[in-house]
Amino acid sequence: MSTTYRTSLGTSDLHSIRLMGRDLSGELMGEVPFGDLAFWMVAMRRPTPGESRLFNAVLVALADHGFTPTVIAARMTLASAPESIQGAMSAGLLGGGSRFLGVTEDAARFLAEGLAGAGADGPRADADYDALARELLAARTGDRRPIPGLGHPVHKDGDPRTPVIYRIAEEEKVLGPHLALLAAVGRVHPEILGRTLPINGAGVCGAALADLGFPPLIARGFALVARAAGVLAHIAEEMRDPIGLQLYQAVDRNAEYVDPTKE
pLDDT tens column, 196-227: 999 999 999 999 999 999 999 999 999 999 99
Given a cut of 70, whether residue 174 has pLDDT beyond it is yes
pTM, whole model, 2 decimals? 0.93
Per residue in 63-80, pLDDT tens? Answer: 998 899 999 999 999 999
pLDDT for 181 equals 97
Query: Cβ distance 199 to 159 under 8 Å?
Result: yes
CA–CA separation, 246 and 133 (whole Å):
46
Q: DSSP class of residue 154?
A: S
Domains and CATH numbers, the chain: 103-213 (1.10.230.10)
Listed range (115-119, 135-139, 204-208) with the worst mean pLDDT: 115-119
CA distance 151 to 201: 10
Nearest 5°: phi and psi at 46? Answer: -75, 145
For position 65, what pLDDT does the model report?
A: 86
The number of beta carbons lying within 10 Å of the beta carbon of residue 122 is 16
pLDDT (tens digit per residue) in 141-156? 888 888 999 998 888 8
Q: Mean pLDDT throughout 155-182?
A: 96
Task: State pLDDT tens for residues 15-41.
Answer: 999 999 999 999 999 999 999 999 999
Which element (helix H / strand E) includes 239? helix 216-240
Neighbours of 208 (CB within 10 A): 30
pLDDT-derived band at 263 (thresholds 50, 70, 90) equals low
Q: In this model, does residue 120 exceed pLDDT 80?
A: no
Backbone angles phi, psi at 21, to 5 degrees: 75, 5
**Residue ranges with strand state E in the chain:** 10-12, 17-19, 22-23
